[in-house]
Chain A
Amino acid sequence: MELYIGDSRDIVVTQRDMTGAKKINVKRNRKGDIVLYDTDEIITAKIENFKDSPAVLTMIQHIPGQWDMEKCTLDKKELKLGVGYKKKHANTLEFEIKLPARTEAGPAVKELKMHYHRRNIRPGVNIRPEPSIIRR
């Protein structure tokens, strides 16, 4: 059971899309239109803890469609599926990030970098093939 108490302002996450969904493995038809492609995506998230006590942040990332992770690192240390992060659903990942307390110099910073490929994307088709069934 979960109780939503409120929003936190002491832990800040800044997420950036570094590549803008670059197309790779592009397959074209005779006319030259793209019919199938994969993408190469890198997402970085900078997490800062401004609190005086350590905290654990559960971060949920969504990746639509068919995908596979190329490399996932937290502060340059590699995370493996099942060990470093969990797959809650075909399109949902859950990371548990332990953050130390802030220091005199400033907030505690951790950087999560996800490098993954989205596969077999057909242009014109709705990216989400399956409505995710989330229990309310």
Chain B
Amino acid sequence: MKRLVLMLLVVAMTGVSRAKVDLVTLPSRDMVQLTIYNSADMTLVRESRDLTLKQGKNKLQFSWANTLIDPTSLEMLPKANADKIDIADLTYPPRVRNLGLWNIKSGVSGKVPVEITYLTSGLSWRAFYMGTLTDDEKTMRLKGYVRVTNNSGEDYENAQTRLIVGKVHILDQIADLARRRYPYGRPGEVVPVPRPLVPPVSAVRDKKEIAWAEVLALRPKEIKKEGLSEYFLYTIEGTETIPTGWSKRLLSFDVDEVPVVNLYKYEQERYGNSVVRFLSFKNDEEHKLGDTPIPGGMLKVYRSVDEEEHLSYTGQSSFKYIPVDEDVELNLGPVANLVVEPTLMDYRTENYRFDRRGNISGFDEIRKFKIEVRNTREIGVKVEIQRNFNTPYWRLEKSGEFDKFEKVDLDTVKFTLILEPRSAKKFEYVLTTYHGVRREETSR
């Protein structure tokens, strides 16, 4: 079901009459390489075909109907006998859509391998991750998957696939260029491409057979990773067949025992009244990672519950690109099995100051807070309670059971507590905030 039609027109050596001769068997693709730039919806396709050329002028007709190929990006390079073959130009006949004509002057006759490159839209890839926490939630098994989807209108069989992580800046969208009425003039006039026809049932069955054969072929494919300037290149081992409209999921990496820290945070102004759970680790050697940057995607976290490895769903979070050696902190959502209860126990004002006119010019507000933290889980946890004040002029006196106190910035403090399984802790603090002239009085 090839939608790309390649016909060879043989021209007589005298070169005047241009009779259309019978179609010769289409040379099939020998090798295809796809490089998918996800962020720009652009894929670079390099294919090699064997063309049968006659000596002298040759004309090659190329059609890209029903696909999202950008015709202005087409290029053809001969692989053998390059000095004798001159690819003169690619013309787009007027008033004819989706058609291009290559003019080739050949000094040899016979089979010539050529390489054709072009840009197409419609191929994309996504990264998915699955994390499985152990019972004590100290380590996690992290599996990364990559899913490649082909919506370009063209089938790619036995294609060597490469994926690029990174943001590319292009001025014209490939899909817009592909949908233009004619491949010249100013880009911008978009003509909708008719939807590709649904292939007849028998063809689909054939494709299913191809797919199953691959599935049954045993060893999971390896993905080779390397850096490429600002981008990162993932090369999938071997070749893939992805017919149009299909997707494929491949395992990208599988790392066991990544040490993680289970952190809970409480901040009323940001998360409301519930405690939010965070999972933190780092993309480095110590954490069994650090080989490659991790492309962004959705991570679903599960917890293995007993020896039979039944899983319970813990939470999910999507994250952006993680470079090597970068800290990761993923928000897995609010929990109910940890409770933080702050209560205002006392409020009073004092130290009133008056100006020359007798109006109030300053005073102190003194608030006493009591915070109770309860852990109803079977494992020990670390909780961070962040308190925000509405003024940078304050003074704090703390007491009670907390493990660490930190002044985060000029109006925020953080208490860190480590709790044993099924336990509770309480601490208090007295906050004095200064208003008006009292601010100057106390900052000296």
- State whether A66 touches B348 (Cβ < 8 A): yes
B341 touches A90 (CB 8 A): no
Contacting chain A: which of B49-57, B293-301, B353-361? Answer: B353-361
Contact residues of A between 33 and 87, Cβ < 8 Å to B: 35-36, 65-66, 87
Shortest distance from the beta carbon of A34 to any chain B beta carbon, whole Å: 10
Docked pose: A88 CA to B370 CA in angstroms = 11
Q: Once the chains bind, are B347 and A129 in contact (CB under 8 Å)?
A: yes
Chain B residues touching A, range: 20 to 34
Residues of chain A lying within 8 A (CB to CB) of residue B365: 129
Q: Are A133 and B345 in contact (CB under 8 A)?
A: no
Residues of chain A in range 77-132 having any CB-CB distance to chain B below 8 Å: 87-91, 119-120, 122, 129-130, 132
B357 touches A31 (CB 8 A): yes
A28 beta carbon closer than 8 Å to chain B: yes
A-facing mask of B70-86, CB < 8 A → 1, else 0? 00000000000000000
Whether A89 pairs with B268 at a CB distance below 8 angstroms is no
B346 at the interface (CB under 8 A from A): yes
A130 touches B357 (CB 8 A): no
Contact of B352 among A30, A36, A129 (CB under 8 A): A36
Task: Determine whether B349 belongs to the interface, using a CB cutoff of 8 Å to chain A.
Answer: yes
In the bound assembly, the distance between CA atoms of A127 and B358 in angstroms comes to 21
Could you tell me if B347 and A133 are in contact, using CB atoms closer than 8 angstroms? no
Task: Determine the chain B residues whose CB is within 8 A of the CB of A132 once the complex forms.
Answer: 344
With a CB–CB cut-off of 8 A, which chain B residues contact A135? Answer: 273, 341
What are the interface flags for B256-277 relative to A under an 8 Å C-beta threshold, 1 for contact and 0 otherwise? Answer: 0000000000001000010000
- Roughly how many angstroms separate A130 CA and B358 CA in the complex, as a whole number? 26
A87: B residues at CB distance < 8 A? 345
CB pair A29–B347 under 8 Å, yes or no, is no
Q: Select the residue from A29, A31, A91 with max chain B CB neighbours within 10 A.
A: A29
Cα distance A27–B357 when bound, in Å? 12
Q: Give, as a whole number of angstroms, the nearest-CB distance from B431 to chain A.
A: 11
Query: Is A136 part of the binding interface, using a Cβ–Cβ cutoff of 8 Å?
Result: yes
Shortest beta-carbon distance, A121 to chain B, in Å? Answer: 9
Q: B367 at interface (Cβ–Cβ under 8 A)?
A: yes
**What bracket does the count of chain A residues touching chain B fall in?**
20 to 34
User: Within 8 Å of chain A (Cβ to Cβ): is B343?
Assistant: yes
**For the complex, is B342 an interface residue (Cβ under 8 Å from A)?**
yes
Chain B residues positioned under 8 Å from A120 (CB to CB): 348-350, 352, 363
Q: Are A133 and B342 in contact (CB under 8 A)?
A: yes
* Residues of chain B within 8 A of A31, CB atoms compared: 357-358
The number of A-B residue pairs with CB atoms under 8 Å apart is: 57
Please name the residue on chain B nearest to A134 by beta carbon: B343
Also in contact, A66 and B347, with CB within 8 A (given A28-B358, A30-B358, A135-B273): yes
Q: Is the CB of A90 within 8 A of B360?
A: no
Asked if residues B344 and A133 are in contact (CB atoms below 8 Å), the reply is: yes
Task: Please give, as numbers and ranges, the residues of chain A lying within 8 Å of B349 by CB-CB distance.
Answer: 66, 119-120
Do B358 and A29 have beta carbons less than 8 Å apart?
A: yes
Nearest CB of B to A53, in Å: 34
Once A129-B365, A133-B268, A136-B273 are accepted as A-B contacts, the answer to whether A90 and B359 lie under 8 Å apart by CB is no
Cβ A89 vs Cβ B343 within 8 A: yes
Query: Chain A residues with Cβ under 8 A from B350's Cβ?
Result: 120
Q: List, in ascending order, chain A residues with CB within 8 A of B360's CB.
A: 35-36, 122
Taking a contact as CB atoms closer than 8 A, the residue among A27, A90, A119, A122 that contacts B345 in the complex is A90
Residues in chain A near residue B358, CB distance under 8 A: 27-31, 35
CB distance from A119 to the nearest CB of B (A): 7
CB neighbours of A35 from chain B (8 A):
354, 358-360
Within the assembled complex, what's the spacing in Å between the Cα atoms of A28 and B359? 8
Q: Are A29 and B344 in contact (CB under 8 A)?
A: no
Chain A hits for B342, CB < 8 A: 133
**Is the pair B348, A130 in contact by a Cβ cutoff of 8 Å?**
no
Interface set of A (CB-CB < 8 Å, partner B):
27-31, 35-36, 65-66, 87-91, 119-120, 122, 129-130, 132-133, 135-136
- Beyond the given A90-B346, A133-B344, please list 12 additional residue pairs across the A-B interface where CB-CB is below 8 A: A29-B357, A29-B359, A35-B359, A66-B347, A87-B345, A91-B344, A122-B360, A129-B365, A130-B344, A132-B344, A133-B343, A135-B273
Closest 6 CB pairs of A and B: A29-B358, A90-B347, A66-B348, A90-B344, A30-B358, A120-B349
- Between-chain CB contacts (< 8 Å), 25 pairs: A29-B357, A30-B356, A30-B357, A35-B358, A35-B359, A65-B347, A66-B348, A66-B349, A89-B345, A90-B344, A90-B345, A90-B347, A90-B368, A91-B344, A91-B347, A120-B348, A120-B349, A120-B350, A120-B363, A122-B360, A130-B344, A132-B344, A133-B273, A133-B343, A135-B341
